Amino acid sequence: MSTLKLDLAERSYPIYIDSKLLADNNLLSQHIRAKRVCIVTNTTVAPLYLATVKQQLVDFQVDEVILADGEAEKNLSNFDKIMSHLLANTHGRDTTLIALGGGVIGDITGFAAACYQRGVDFIQIPTTLLSQVDSSVGGKTAVNHPLGKNMIGAFYQPKAVVIDIDSLHTLPAREFSAGMAEVIKYGILGDREFFVWLEQNLAQIKSAQPNVLIEMIERCCQCKADIVSADETEAGVRALLNLGHTFGHAIEAEQGYGNWLHGEAVATGMVLAAKLAVAMNLLEVSELRRIEHLLAAFDLPLEAPSDMGFEQFIKHMRRDKKNIGGKLRLIIPTVIGHAVMRDDISEDMLQQIL
């Protein structure tokens, strides 16, 4: 088993990566300090993995909240559903929540844990590639609002992250590809060697070779852990992890949450960010083409929705959380392996790209 550590002093926690972890009888219990546990999952994941996880917890009093599946379910109504369940079942401050599912479940469960009785423990068990390499690590928790994605949330760290690569066997191909957008993001923003490794291991990744998947996920988690350890609340370098997200979140909000998967929107967002960098003479066209080629290899979209122009993008981008003093702040690549934040990009320049 590969074990990484996200170092945040007294709030540090382990990230476990291997196969067959969901059936490990000793892994979860060491991170639960009392006998009450609530598992939050969804209608897709519950039939696949809920019973297996509950078998680990036979010595605990366990109940569950099962939400509908999809990005549209990451909302205040379901947040209230979790809160009402915890209150109705007299969960105390020593309760542990377990997020069993993808990024939607991880985000909403983490936010519920941050808020219930001013904070209870929670554990992440991500079951999608996107959540394994990105959203389960780092303590960003949130729900969506019709006017913006992840606008209501908190920074709140889990007690542990348990990544069982076997859960990827039941993941639809489209969801796997969406996760690869976040994987590729790490190479573009800060690790050219990893980007090259991805280019060289396309076949092994697509055939889900276990050792290759473990190495890929481990490298992503290590990159994110290093960045979060240096900048937990996104005051500086952590903002680079939002490469492609300002454009991507606009697509998700405009198209309706779930119509474009998060990774699909981020893939297109990264292409738009790279095209902007080319227009600013900060990125070589050859680098843009390599980015497009690798994204396309996983069937990810490279073009914005045909019904979205400048006005549709900018109304959402003006609400982006990175903006300060009314200035747009965008992450753009300057070379594969390095990205920067810029706040000098005019709306006129964006209009040319969009």
Q: Using CA atoms, how far apart are residues 345 and 354, in angstroms rounded to an integer?
A: 13
Given the residues 234, 252, 254, 287, select the one marked as catalytic: 234
Given the residues 185, 262, 275, 329, select the one marked as catalytic: 262
Q: Using CA atoms, how far apart are residues 196 and 302, in angstroms rounded to an integer?
A: 20
Per the annotation, the verdict on 33 as an active-site residue is: no
Question: Which residues are CB-neighbours of 274 under 8 A, at least 6 positions away?
Answer: 188, 283, 287, 288, 291, 292, 332, 333
Per the annotation, the verdict on 118 as an active-site residue is: yes
Per the annotation, the verdict on 303 as an active-site residue is: no
Per the annotation, the verdict on 224 as an active-site residue is: yes
Given the residues 74, 219, 245, 321, select the one marked as catalytic: 245
CA nearest neighbour of 271 among 260, 258, 285: 285
Asked if 221 and 15 touch (Cβ cutoff 8 Å), the reply is yes
Q: Using CA atoms, how far apart are residues 51 and 62, in angstroms rounded to an integer?
A: 11
Token output for 11: 């709030």
Per the annotation, the verdict on 234 as an active-site residue is: yes
Token output for 164: 């069982």
Per the annotation, the verdict on 238 as an active-site residue is: yes
Per the annotation, the verdict on 249 as an active-site residue is: yes
Q: Using CA atoms, how far apart are residues 4 and 154, in angstroms rounded to an integer?
A: 23
Render 191-245 in DSSP notation, one character per residue.
-HHHHHHHHHTHHHHHTT-HHHHHHHHHHHHHHHHHHHHH-TTSSSGGGGGGTTH
Asked if 128 and 103 touch (Cβ cutoff 8 Å), the reply is yes
Which helix or strand (DSSP H or E) is residue 340 part of? strand 338-342
Given the residues 42, 218, 242, 287, select the one marked as catalytic: 242
Per the annotation, the verdict on 140 as an active-site residue is: yes
Given the residues 73, 144, 159, 182, select the one marked as catalytic: 182
Given the residues 91, 149, 238, 316, select the one marked as catalytic: 238
Given the residues 31, 74, 224, 316, select the one marked as catalytic: 224
Helices 173-190, 262-279: axis angle to 10 degrees equals: 30
Given the residues 31, 81, 219, 249, select the one marked as catalytic: 249
The residues carrying an active-site annotation are 118, 140, 182, 224, 234, 238, 242, 245, 249, 262
